[in-house]
Structure formats: C-alpha cells, structure tokens
Structure 1
C-alpha cells in the first residue's frame, strides 16, 4: 500500500504553501489537483510525477466526487506517494472527510497537511482583521451551499462577531434575505474579496442592504469570500497587498527552459498575477494539459520572454503563441 497526503495549497499566493506541503509535493509520485490550486505549484514536482486534474466548476464537475474517491483508492493501493492537492485548507469545505472515509475502508495510510484557508488569506491580503477587540470576539466560517432546511443564526453570529461566507456570490440573494429576516441590520458592513491573495485580487466594500446591487454592478463572481461584520468597515481604500509595485499586472512568463519556481516567486512577491510556460520541442509535456486548462480560465496581458530569441519569434504574435500552447505543439 502507498500513502495519500491531503495537502492544503493555501489560497492563491503560491508562497502560502507550507514547508511540509512543499516537501510532500517534491516527493509525490502522483498529484491529484483541484481547480482552485495555483498550478505553478506543480513546478515543485519531480520529473517522474504524474498529474491528474480533478477540478470542479459550478454545476460542471470534471471528476465527480465518487470518481475522485475511486481514483484515490486506485492510486493509494500502489506503493507510491499520492498527493491530493486542494485549495485552501483540506479540512475546511474541502470534502476531506468523505475522501478519508474512502481510504479507511481499505486501510490505506494518509496524512493531512493543513493549508491557509480563504478566510485568513482574503482578510489578511485586503487589510481586514477577522477579530477586533472593539467589535468582534468570534469568527464563523460558513458555506452558502447549505443542506436543505438548514438554519443559520446569522443575527447571533454577526453580533460582536464576523461571518466568512465561502463561495457565497451565487447564493447571495437568499443569504441576504435570511439575514434581513433575522433582524440583522441592513447597514452591517460587508466586504467581498474575489481571487484572494492573487495579483488579480479585487476587494469591494458595501453594506448588507446594497450587497446584491454591488455584486451585479461590479460583476463579481466566484471564487469570492464574503465577510459580514463590523470588521469590514476597517478597510479604508487599498491596503498593503494592493500597493505592491506589480499588483494588478497579469504576467505570462515564457521560456524554452523549465522555469524555476523561485523565478515565478520573484514576480508574485511584487504583487503580480503570474503564470509560467515552457515552450518548444524540449518542453516537459506533462504540463501541456495543465497549461491548456489554466489558459481556458485565465488571460494575461503582459508577456515576459525569458529567452530573448522567443521575443523575436513571437513579438506581437500573442494569438499565435496562445494557439500553439493550447494545441500543445
């Protein structure tokens, strides 16, 4: 039997991966990764590691949970190191309980490596304290995707407290209705953080009454975290992350050589939203599918050619380059 590691990738910023998570990724024989995992973390993998994409989209699961469970059994039975790489923290709305139960049914060894959850990343990178001596002595992590008939005491939770609502944009209207029906003040401060801790992060503050209008007007989409509570009022304009020199820059690094993880971090450390692609016949073809999937979801408006010859070849021909990457040529 092998061993399965459930690794929390953290939320967005690749440097939020823990040291233990990095060590396990470097040793993995198989990496089963989710959609919200920043795929540059796969650059830590050894040359022989296999990648399996298990990304989930709203209402369109690439691999359904039952299939993922079966996959974990199949790979876990072999004498190898399997990493189930999840966004944020595996134990917080990551379905790790279901997957552990599956492994236990066949006595397959596992470990859980915690990660930085979205609530911590989103609040920290937008300058909002989750607790504050003056107005918040408790924090509740909740999901908008509740079981039918489940009731949440929002009024009790927001009184001298903070509620962090995961993936809440899709059901914001029903959530707003429940809060107002329970007597929560329409003036309750609210913050919405989209793509937390990445260079494309967007933070919007509003009130409970204006929540739906704000989401519609600003075209906010998941992945977003909604923070409900007086702490949201402590954000005053741009904060430390958004003031970094490269914040808001969406940069694609291109090279004919494998791009080092440290090179990628040199851009993210300045606040940029970065992705890296190796091109050419000598490229590591394991990443072709990874690139195709990621470029389907994300676009970049700046290209940095680490190999200057590529600048001559592809100068002002981004469409040609993108087509080659997408087709895996």
Structure 2
C-alpha cells in the first residue's frame, strides 16, 4: 500500500499564516520535506516520530536539485506513510508543484494540495498596500522576473489601472526597469519593494519606476523580496499596522531545556517580533539539531529570552557562545 503526499503551503513568513488544514496535515505527517523559505518553527507542530528532510534551495546553489526532490517524493510516497511537502507561500504559485505532481502521477501516488498565503498577499497586507483599489487598480498580475527565453510581459497593459507583483525580482531589477520604460510605462509609477514580508525582519521601501534601482542598491535589499508596481503603492503612508506592533524589528531567540510550545512562539510573532526557538540540553529533540544549524547559518538574533530560570542564570553572560552555533 502506498502513502499519500500533501503539498502544503506554509504561508509567507508569519507562522500563523499557515491554514488550519495545513496545521492538521502537518501534525499527522510521518515525513516532512521542507523548503528554505518555510519558517522552521512550523516543525514544532510535528509529532515526535516525524522525520525531517531539508530541501532548501538557495539562489545559484541548490541543496537538493529539483530532479532529486522529485525522486525523493517518489521514494517516500511509495511507502505506507503520510508525506508533507512543506513549501513557502502557496505551492501553486511559482512553487514548481506542477512538476512534482507529474512525478507522483507517473507512479499512481495519491496527493492533495493545501493552498497557502502567497507572498503577494502577505507582503502587501503587512505593508499596508491593498492589491486592488476602486480608484487605482481593478486587476492584479503575479509574475516572476525569471522568465523563459523569448517570453515577454505586457508591462504597459498590466500596470494600467492594475497592480503588478514581481516575485524574485531584485536581482533583475535593472532589466525590468529598462523593459518598463521601453514599453512606455510612466517613470513616476509608484513601486514598493518588500523584503522578508510578514516576518519581524520585514523591510518595505517605496520608490518609482525611475528610482527603484537606486533605492534597492541604497538599502541593500536582497531576496526574498517582492516588487509591487502600481498606484496602489501610494496607499502606504509610512509604517503601517504590522510595523507599529510593539516588538516589530526585534530579533528574538527563545531558549529552553524543555520542548518549546508553538503557542509560546507565536505569542511573540503576534507582537511583531522575528522569533526562533531552540531547545537545548541532553534531553533536547535531536531532530532539530540540523534544522537549527541550517537556520542560524542564514539568520542572526540579537536578543535572547531564556524560558528556564536555571538557563537564564547560567547563560546570561554567554550569548556569544549561542550566537556561534551552540547546539
């Protein structure tokens, strides 16, 4: 008897953007294959026997190449178990879910797709920018800057009374700007660039088509970032609701010798903090050792909250040790 593969959209950034169905499926999974853009605190929802496999992809440096991921899905899906392929955002929006489904179909492996909150929705909402507006925009286009050879986009038509969301667009912003201006799009059309949307480390900068290249360079904005083009950007008026939360911008590491509850973690993200949680000590869940090392290689945290009084006393002067990959 074969298993079943669930393609689950983890949402974009904020762990609470996971859907109720996604949470239920994640809690019952035997194997979880997760991407780099998935917030790994979601793994705290997994049962104790679940196996974690990291498939994170970096620009120009794929940890697991797509063909290997496809093969992995086949191998795990042929076993009698529930497999969750946990993807950032929504699996069906630039998530290559079509290729992975075709692989499963070739072997008759059953699957389900659980949609997630895509970056366009999350980054715009958490920046105070509506994607549609009765006065400014009656349509929304989701596009990627990484286009197939010879493929063209009607920037002029799509931005007229519309909003355009460019995924993974920062690296190719110069060529995008050139195409926009060549097609006669107004150089003064507003643009917003949202980095790490819906996480406490989110940064939102506004510009115009004319200035967006220099603004990105000035602020050293990097992927993952979303570029929003359209007059709806003018609805943003400085720091919006998310950026006004009391802990927004705080990068907090929670540490305990006991397993850290998911509800404890989100009590910080609900206040706007960028949070990660680590259980330490001999009794720690060792499945997370590799997860922690991978995540801390990419992200830093400059505030520590010890949830255990003994730890608080022991390590209050040793934050540097933790910051140098302590598990």
The structural deviation recorded for 1:306 is 0.3
The structural deviation recorded for 1:48 is 0.2
The structural deviation recorded for 1:314 is 1.3
Aligned pair in 2 of structure 1 residues 324, 202: CA closer, same or farther (>3 Å)? closer
Could you list the runs of 5+ residues in structure 2 that have no partner in the other structure?
A: none
Which string of whole-angstrom CA distances, capped at 9 and with x for unpartnered residues, describes residues 199-225 of structure 1? 011100000000110000000000000
Separation in structure 1 between the aligned mates of residue 245 and residue 58 of structure 2, nearest angstrom? 31
2:56 is aligned with 1:55: yes
* 2:4–2:111 contact (8 Å) kept in structure 1: yes
The structural deviation recorded for 1:311 is 1.5
The structural deviation recorded for 1:324 is 5.5
The structural deviation recorded for 1:320 is 1.6
Separation in structure 2 between the aligned mates of residue 306 and residue 129 of structure 1, nearest angstrom? 38
Match of 2:175 in 1: 174
1:194-233 alignment, distance < 5 Å: 194-233=195-234
Instruction: Report the 3-state secondary structure (helix = DSSP H, G, I; strand = E; otherwise coil) of the residue aligned with 2:104.
Output: helix
* 2:8–2:114 contact (8 Å) kept in structure 1: yes
1:58-73 alignment, distance < 5 Å: 58-73=59-74
Match of 2:106 in 1: 105
Which 4+ stretches in 1 moved above 3 angstroms?
A: none
Which string of whole-angstrom CA distances, capped at 9 and with x for unpartnered residues, describes residues 181-239 of structure 1? 00000000000000000001110000000011000000000000000000011101000
Instruction: Report the 3-state secondary structure (helix = DSSP H, G, I; strand = E; otherwise coil) of the residue aligned with 2:276.
Output: strand
Separation in structure 1 between the aligned mates of residue 195 and residue 30 of structure 2, nearest angstrom? 33
Instruction: Report the 3-state secondary structure (helix = DSSP H, G, I; strand = E; otherwise coil) of the residue aligned with 1:135.
Output: coil
Match of 2:264 in 1: 263
Match of 1:128 in 2: 129
Match of 1:12 in 2: 13
Instruction: Report the 3-state secondary structure (helix = DSSP H, G, I; strand = E; otherwise coil) of the residue aligned with 1:206.
Output: strand
Match of 2:276 in 1: 275
The structural deviation recorded for 1:322 is 3.5
Q: CA RMSD in A?
A: 0.7
Aligned length: 326
Separation in structure 2 between the aligned mates of residue 298 and residue 308 of structure 1, nearest angstrom? 26
The structural deviation recorded for 1:316 is 2.3
Instruction: Report the 3-state secondary structure (helix = DSSP H, G, I; strand = E; otherwise coil) of the residue aligned with 1:217.
Output: helix
The structural deviation recorded for 1:323 is 3.9
Match of 2:93 in 1: 92
Match of 2:22 in 1: 21
Separation in structure 2 between the aligned mates of residue 283 and residue 159 of structure 1, nearest angstrom? 55
Separation in structure 1 between the aligned mates of residue 324 and residue 47 of structure 2, nearest angstrom? 27
Separation in structure 2 between the aligned mates of residue 49 and residue 322 of structure 1, nearest angstrom? 28
* 2:293–2:325 contact (8 Å) kept in structure 1: no
Separation in structure 2 between the aligned mates of residue 108 and residue 73 of structure 1, nearest angstrom? 8
Match of 2:151 in 1: 150
Instruction: Report the 3-state secondary structure (helix = DSSP H, G, I; strand = E; otherwise coil) of the residue aligned with 1:252.
Output: strand
Instruction: Report the 3-state secondary structure (helix = DSSP H, G, I; strand = E; otherwise coil) of the residue aligned with 2:122.
Output: helix
Separation in structure 2 between the aligned mates of residue 209 and residue 85 of structure 1, nearest angstrom? 38
The structural deviation recorded for 1:170 is 0.6
The structural deviation recorded for 1:315 is 1.4
Separation in structure 2 between the aligned mates of residue 301 and residue 141 of structure 1, nearest angstrom? 35
Separation in structure 2 between the aligned mates of residue 222 and residue 268 of structure 1, nearest angstrom? 21
Which string of whole-angstrom CA distances, capped at 9 and with x for unpartnered residues, describes residues 110-142 of structure 1? 000000000000110000000010110000000
Match of 1:184 in 2: 185
Match of 1:193 in 2: 194
Separation in structure 2 between the aligned mates of residue 48 and residue 135 of structure 1, nearest angstrom? 51
Instruction: Report the 3-state secondary structure (helix = DSSP H, G, I; strand = E; otherwise coil) of the residue aligned with 1:190.
Output: strand
* 2:300–2:323 contact (8 Å) kept in structure 1: no
Which string of whole-angstrom CA distances, capped at 9 and with x for unpartnered residues, describes residues 38-83 of structure 1? 0000000000000000000000000000000000000000000000
